[in-house]
Amino acid sequence: MSGILVIAEHTRGVLADISAEMTGAAYRLKQLFGGPLRVLIVGADAADFAASLCLPGVDEILVAQTDNAQFDAGTVGEIACLATMQHEPDTVLIAHSASGMSYASALAVHLGSGFAADVFALDKAEHGLRATRSGYGSKVNIELDFPDKSVVVLTIRGGTFQPAKGSGNAQITSFPVGSNLAGGSYRHEEFVEPASAGVDIGKAEFILSIGRGIQDEKNIPRFAALAEKLGATLGCSRPIADSGWLNKGHQVGLTGKVAANCRLYIALGISGAVQHLHGMKHVDTIIAINADTNAPIFNVATLGSTVDLFEFTDALEKLL
Ligand SMILES: Cc1cc2nc3c(=O)[nH]c(=O)nc-3n(C[C@H](O)[C@H](O)[C@H](O)COP(=O)(O)OP(=O)(O)OC[C@H]3O[C@@H](n4cnc5c(N)ncnc54)[C@H](O)[C@@H]3O)c2cc1C
Q: What tens digit of pLDDT does each residue of 242-258 get?
A: 999 999 999 999 889 98
Q: How many domains does the chain have?
A: 2
Give the Cα separation of 197 and 124 in Å (integer): 39
227 and 294 housed in the same domain: yes
What's the 271 CA to ligand 1 centre distance in angstroms? Answer: 5
165 and 206 housed in the same domain: no
pLDDT (0 to 100) of residue 191? 86
Select from 157, 174, 191 the last residue of a domain: 174
Pairing of strands 140-145, 128-135: antiparallel
pTM: 0.79
Give the Cα separation of 95 and 55 in Å (integer): 17
Q: Which residue among 275, 305, 307 has the greatest number of ligand 1 atoms within 8 angstroms of its CB, and so is best to mutate?
A: 275
Give the Cα separation of 122 and 18 in Å (integer): 16
Residue-wise pLDDT tens digits, 272-318:
999 999 899 999 999 999 999 999 999 999 999 999 999 999 999 99
Residue whose CA is at the smallest distance from ligand 1 atom 14: 275
* CA 274 distance to own-chain centroid: 18
pLDDT (0 to 100) of residue 139? 74
**Angle at the Cα of 43 (from 36 to 48), degrees rounded to 5?**
75
Which of 26-35, 109-118, 181-190 has the weakest average pLDDT? Answer: 181-190
Q: Which residues does a 6 A CB cutoff place in the pocket of ligand 1?
A: 137, 211-213, 237-239, 251-256, 269-271, 273, 275-276, 289-292, 295, 308-310
Q: Which amino acid belongs to residue 57?
A: G
Give the Cα separation of 146 and 8 in Å (integer): 23
151 and 10 housed in the same domain: yes
Q: Is residue 123 scored above 90 in pLDDT?
A: yes
Q: What is the CATH number of the domain that holds 241?
A: 3.40.50.1220
Q: What is the CATH number of the domain that holds 51?
A: 3.40.50.620
Give the Cα separation of 258 and 256 in Å (integer): 7
* CA 300 distance to own-chain centroid: 22
Coil vs helix vs strand at 216: coil
Which of 141-150, 167-176, 194-203 has the weakest average pLDDT? Answer: 194-203
36: cis peptide before it, omega within 30°? yes
Radius of gyration of the chain (CA): 22
77 and 160 housed in the same domain: yes
Residue-wise pLDDT tens digits, 156-165:
998 889 999 8
209 and 146 housed in the same domain: no
Q: 295 with 271: CB under 8 angstroms?
A: yes
pLDDT (0 to 100) of residue 241? 96
Mean pLDDT of the chain: 94
Range of the domain at 300: 201-319
What's the 113 CA to ligand 1 centre distance in angstroms? Answer: 39
145 and 223 housed in the same domain: no
Q: Is residue 153 scored above 80 in pLDDT?
A: yes
Mean pLDDT of 60-85: 94
